[in-house]
């Protein structure tokens, strides 16, 4: 990695650590939203560096849909308990369904992705969180490009992109009324390439599904979906084994794979550099409408 790339990564790291320290100073009950994906892994790694030699001063919160990849859950427990030594809180979408708070989707394109919003908002209210830290980046999707570092949410947990505070000179305004909270995104200015280069530079271990492997998949609307027990298939959809990897990790029912032989970080970086599609181009949940992500965010989504 050349000197220019290292300097660029060091600047991004310093900015993110500044944001993490700033939120720790301004908020009383923050939590880091952890999915086991590369972005939340990087944010948790940055949090460890930001507060070293002390432990991370806030818990990690995982909203478990029940449709997560087993590899992700195994990694989550190992990373949080063995590497970070942090506190992990888990809230389940299945519990929200059992309580009658949401209704399970039915049909071919059913997913629990949208249902996470209610579980998340319930957890924020239960734990009295005033700040939820996320790994969203502005380059991911046009709705996320509108986000500030400190993103205000009203007392219903909703996001109004036209009612956000200016952040001139990196001065962050975390003032809020009772019942409101903030979502804070320390790696907002990072790109997918920045994340992969940082992971390589810092030698951060990742779940194995980010690397090339054989898996049964079905192709639907140009997206390769893992043939899991939760995926409802059409009669004409046939599962076949392909060599794939995942660029982004979410639910098994809506996270698409890409055909790839990249088995090392260096190979992944070369592949990402040559790619002409975004990582969220493989997410079936983002294809429901042109404004699918923005609609979910306005309702309280991550």
Q: Over 80: is that where the pLDDT of 289 sits?
A: no
Tell me how far apart the alpha carbons of residues 75 and 208 are, in angstroms, rounded to a whole number.
Answer: 9
Summarize pLDDT for 216-233 with one digit per residue, the tens. Answer: 999 988 889 999 999 888
What are the structural domain ranges in the chain? 3-195+291-298, 206-287
Write down the mean pLDDT value for the chain. 90
**Number of alpha carbons in the 13 Å side-chain half-sphere of residue 91:** 23
Q: Over 70: is that where the pLDDT of 299 sits?
A: no
DSSP secondary structure string for all residues of 77-124: HHIIIIII---EEEEEHHHHHHTTSS----STT--STTTHHHHHHHHH
Lowest mean pLDDT across 43-52, 81-90, 108-117, 276-285: 276-285
- DSSP category for residue 50: H
Burial class (CB within 10 angstroms; exposed 0-12, middle 13-18, buried 19+) of 150: buried
- Judge contact between 150 and 133, C-beta under 8 A: no
Give the pLDDT confidence score for residue 250 in this predicted structure: 86
Summarize pLDDT for 255-288 with one digit per residue, the tens. Answer: 899 999 999 999 999 999 998 887 766 655 555 5
| Confidence at 27, pLDDT banded by 50, 70, 90 | very high
Which of the four CATH numbers 3.40.50.9100, 3.40.50.1100, 3.40.50.720, 3.40.50.620 does domain 3-195+291-298 have?
3.40.50.620
Summarize pLDDT for 136-157 with one digit per residue, the tens. Answer: 998 887 777 788 899 999 888 8
Q: Determine the average pLDDT of the residues in 77-104.
A: 95
């Amino acid at each position: 990695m050349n000197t220019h790339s290292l300097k660029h990564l060091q600047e991004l790291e310093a900015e993110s650590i500044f944001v993490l320290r700033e939120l720790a100073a301004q908020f009383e009950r923050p939590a880091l939203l952890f999915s086991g994906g590369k972005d939340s892994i990087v944010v948790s790694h940055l949090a460890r560096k930001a507060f070293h030699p002390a432990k991370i001063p806030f818990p990690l919160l995982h909203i478990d849909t029940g449709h997560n990849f087993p590899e992700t859950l195994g990694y989550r427990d190992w990373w949080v308990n063995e590497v970070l030594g942090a506190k992990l809180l888990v809230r389940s979408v299945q519990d929200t369904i059992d309580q009658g708070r949401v209704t399970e989707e039915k049909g071919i394109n059913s997913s629990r992705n949208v249902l996470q919003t209610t579980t998340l908002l319930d957890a924020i209210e239960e734990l009295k969180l005033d700040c939820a830290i996320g790994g969203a980046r502005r380059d991911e999707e046009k709705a996320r490009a509108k986000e500030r570092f400190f993103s205000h949410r009203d007392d219903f947990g909703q996001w109004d992109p036209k009612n956000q505070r200016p952040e001139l000179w990196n001065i962050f305004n975390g003032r809020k009324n009772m019942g409101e909270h903030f979502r804070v995104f320390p790696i907002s200015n990072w790109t997918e390439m920045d994340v992969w280069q940082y992971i390589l530079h810092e030698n951060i271990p990742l779940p194995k599904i980010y690397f090339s492997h054989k898996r049964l998949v079905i192709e639907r609307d140009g997206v390769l979906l893992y043939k899991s027990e939760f995926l409802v298939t059409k009669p004409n959809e046939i599962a076949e084994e392909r060599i794939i990897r995942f660029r982004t990790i979410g639910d098994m029912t809506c996270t698409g794979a890409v055909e790839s032989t990249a088995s090392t970080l260096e190979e992944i970086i070369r592949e990402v550099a040559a790619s002409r599609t975004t990582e969220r181009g493989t997410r079936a949940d983002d294809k429901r409408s042109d404004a699918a992500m923005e609609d979910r965010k306005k309702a309280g989504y991550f």
